[in-house]
């Protein structure tokens, strides 16, 4: 199967790099987003995301004329759905964006086309949700057009490289659909491509992130135990990991992002009676921000009226993605306790919509009136801070380190008292 033109629906962290990569390989690509602000920004040559190398990639794709931006799908040889799949407050999957994207394809779907769902989805979404919607075209998936599922498996901060180099799984509603998917992604992928059925492919993505979530949960529980027993969890983990069959992950303020903190709930929602371990791990990681706030309270003595500065809002270091970030829950709990919260996220200086929180555009401003400074994200610029310089910027001498980022003894030498997550005091 050959492809001259593709249509990518959803221009977020996955859709935009995917569309640009295909365009730079010589295909004509229509990038579609329902958010008019995103469409306008991209059409004017701007960028709404921070990802290393992405601006250059997008600008090259636009300049070539191969990538165009639109609010509506057009006829194409292949359609890639890369829209968000969050969950409702009750932890059930919210598939409205997937359903809407599929509905928008129906009027332009043609015989022999390929449709690929990339959005992380509960098992059987491709078969039970997307296929019936596309069948409204009067054509049947697997007979008149190809339908497949191929999950993104990339790490923010390394998306452009991993999009090309990572192994890819493609699950078709039939073998021909899987083969069509392979023909498409072979145009940009250097990694091995594994073919299977669509439900197995959906399950693979959920299994990968659920596995990681469970392993992070035990690390977070170890941090709580260490605080209670008066030891240093970071030292204990380093020693335990010298065992040839042990690899304990690092604890932290919680688990965020649009994958690890979300995907396990899709399995719990789909089969609540047989997923007690997954459910428990999710509850452990979701409750970790409460333990962070308790540590901040211990450092501050009293939260009400205390000026607390939070360094980092993103869910992981050196990215701007704050989706499901545990930092947001920490903020909420601090505000609820009466703290005066200031936050600085260098990759998203405007912060996000939140009441009773001051977002600063510079580190100087964030540190100025702080009484307690909390390291929530191990951004490189925070880890590399000079203790003596920070001491000159603020009168605050109380630090809370939730990511083991400030281990240098210079902090104590500069007069700071450091409260560390997972270290008994």
Distance, CA of 46 to CA of 62 (rounded, Å): 11
pTM: 0.89
243 secondary structure, DSSP code: S
Segment 365-390 shows an average pLDDT of 96
Sign of CA dihedral 60, 61, 65, 69: negative
Selected catalytic residue, list 5, 136, 182, 205: 205
pLDDT in tens, 102-123: 999 999 999 999 999 999 999 9
What is the chain's mean pLDDT, rounded?
Answer: 95
Q: What is the pLDDT of residue 355?
A: 80
pLDDT exceeds 90 at position 88: no
The H-assigned helical ranges of 232-322 are 233-240, 263-270, 276-300
pLDDT in tens, 44-81: 999 998 888 999 999 999 999 999 999 999 999 999 99
Instruction: Report whether 403 contacts 421 (CB < 8 A).
Output: yes
Query: Which residue from 192, 186, 189 is spatially nearest to 3, judged by alpha carbons?
Result: 186
- pLDDT band per the 50, 70, 90 thresholds, residue 259: confident
The H-assigned helical ranges of 74-230 are 96-105, 125, 131-134, 159-165, 175-185, 198-229
Instruction: Report whether 148 contacts 172 (CB < 8 A).
Output: yes
**Residue with tokens 């790099």, as numbered in its chain:** 17
Domains of the chain: 5-204 (3.40.50.720), 263-420 (3.40.50.720)
pLDDT exceeds 80 at position 350: no
pLDDT exceeds 90 at position 414: yes
Distance, CA of 240 to CA of 221 (rounded, Å): 15
Query: Which residue from 16, 18, 11 is spatially nearest to 37, judged by alpha carbons?
Result: 11
Segment 179-195 shows an average pLDDT of 96
pLDDT exceeds 80 at position 351: no
Segment 285-304 shows an average pLDDT of 96
As given in the structure block, the two tokens for residue 40 are 């306008």
Q: Is 259 a catalytic residue?
A: yes
H helix count then E strand count, the chain? 17, 14
Selected catalytic residue, list 7, 259, 306, 396: 259
pLDDT exceeds 80 at position 353: no
Segment 214-221 shows an average pLDDT of 98
- pLDDT band per the 50, 70, 90 thresholds, residue 155: confident
**Residue with tokens 């601006």, as numbered in its chain:** 55
Q: Report long-range pairs for 205-208 (Cβ below 8 Å, ≥24 apart).
A: 205/120, 205/151, 205/153, 205/169, 205/263, 206/120, 206/122, 206/123, 206/263, 206/264, 206/266, 206/267, 208/153
Instruction: Report whether 374 contacts 418 (CB < 8 A).
Output: no
- pLDDT band per the 50, 70, 90 thresholds, residue 425: confident
As given in the structure block, the two tokens for residue 146 are 């190809």
Q: What is the pLDDT of residue 79?
A: 98
Paired strand residues for 418: 399
Q: Residue 125, class by beta-carbon neighbours within 10 Å (0-12 exposed, 13-18 middle, 19+ buried)?
A: buried
Q: Is 205 a catalytic residue?
A: yes
Instruction: Report whether 222 contacts 237 (CB < 8 A).
Output: yes
What is the enclosing helix (H) or strand (E) of 393?
Answer: helix 387-393
Q: What is the pLDDT of residue 200?
A: 97
**CA within 13 Å, CB half, 357:** 25
Distance, CA of 211 to CA of 205 (rounded, Å): 10
Q: What is the pLDDT of residue 354?
A: 78
Distance, CA of 309 to CA of 366 (rounded, Å): 6
Residue 117, C-beta contacts closer than 8 angstroms, at least 6 positions apart? 81, 98, 125, 126, 130, 148, 149, 150
Query: Which residue from 132, 134, 198, 190 is spatially nearest to 166, judged by alpha carbons?
Result: 190
Q: What is the pLDDT of residue 50?
A: 83
pLDDT exceeds 80 at position 258: no
Q: What is the pLDDT of residue 352?
A: 75
């Amino acid at each position: 199967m050959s492809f001259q033109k593709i249509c990518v629906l959803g221009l977020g962290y996955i859709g935009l790099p995917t569309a640009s990569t295909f365009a730079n390989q010589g295909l004509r690509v229509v990038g579609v987003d329902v958010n008019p602000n995103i469409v306008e920004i991209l059409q004017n040559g701007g960028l709404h995301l921070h990802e290393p190398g992405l601006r250059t990639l997008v600008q090259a794709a636009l300049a070539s004329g191969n990538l165009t931006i639109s609010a509506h799908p057009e006829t194409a040889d292949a359609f890639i759905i890369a829209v968000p799949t969050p969950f409702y407050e009750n932890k059930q999957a919210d598939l409205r964006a997937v359903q809407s994207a599929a509905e928008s394809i129906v009027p332009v779907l043609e015989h022999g086309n390929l449709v690929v769902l990339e959005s992380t989805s509960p098992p059987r979404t491709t078969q039970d949700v997307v296929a019936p919607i596309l069948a409204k075209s009067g054509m049947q998936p697997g007979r008149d057009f190809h339908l497949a599922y191929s999950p993104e498996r990339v790490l923010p901060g390394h998306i452009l490289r991993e999009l090309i180099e990572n192994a890819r799984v493609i699950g078709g509603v039939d073998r021909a659909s899987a083969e069509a998917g392979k023909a498409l992604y072979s145009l940009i992928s250097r990694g091995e491509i594994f073919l299977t059925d669509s439900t197995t492919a959906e399950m693979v993505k959920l299994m990968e992130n659920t596995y990681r979530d469970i392993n992070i949960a035990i690390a977070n529980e170890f941090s709580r135990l260490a605080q209670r027993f008066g030891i240093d969890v970071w030292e204990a983990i380093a020693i335990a990991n010298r065992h040839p069959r042990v690899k304990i992950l690092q604890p932290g303020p919680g688990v965020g992002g649009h994958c690890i903190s979300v995907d396990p709930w899709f399995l719990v929602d789909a089969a609540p009676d047989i997923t007690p371990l997954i459910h428990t791990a999710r509850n452990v990681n979701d409750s970790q921000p409460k333990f962070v706030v308790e540590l901040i309270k211990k450092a501050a003595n009293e939260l009400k009226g205390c000026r607390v500065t939070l360094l980092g809002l993103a869910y992981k270091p050196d990215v701007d993605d704050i989706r499901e970030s545990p930092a947001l829950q920490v903020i909420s709990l601090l505000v609820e306790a009466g703290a005066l919260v200031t936050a600085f996220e260098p990759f998203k200086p405007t912060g996000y919509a939140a009441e009773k929180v001051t977002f600063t555009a510079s580190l100087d401003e964030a540190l100025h009136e702080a009484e307690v400074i909390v390291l929530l994200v191990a951004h490189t610029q925070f880890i590399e801070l000079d203790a003596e310089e920070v001491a000159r910027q603020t009168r605050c001498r109380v630090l809370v380190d939730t990511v083991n980022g400030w281990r240098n003894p210079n902090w104590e030498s500069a007069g700071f008292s450091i409260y560390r997550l997972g270290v008994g005091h």
